[in-house]
Amino acid sequence: MNAQAMTSSMINKNILLADKNAREMGKPVSRSLINMFFVLLLISLCAFAAVRLLDPATLPIRHVRIEGNFQYLSTEKMQSMVSDVISGGF
């Protein structure tokens, strides 16, 4: 094998090794960016859900039913007490 072919072969090996190293070095960076993106997406979705659920118009109370025997409280008094409190959402 002549010197030029040997040098060319060594250069090709070095290029392949450099390419392989560059690809391997890029994987952790891209994986960590993807992981960070999904974490931020999850946090954003949780924040959106919390804001949405805290809005009283999201889950309005439409009906309240109180059952039982009233011994010390009249039905009318119970209705007035409950109606003052349920003016909103869940």
Residue-level pLDDT at 69: 80
The rounded average pLDDT for each run of 10 residues, N- to C-terminus, in the chain (90 residues) is: 56 63 61 90 95 82 77 82 71
Cα–Cα distance between 64 and 86 in angstroms, integer? 9
* Per-domain boundaries in the chain: 3-85
Nearest CA to 90 out of 58, 50, 52, 68 is that of 58
Contact indicator for 84, 59 with CB cutoff of 8 Å = no
Residue-level pLDDT at 18: 61
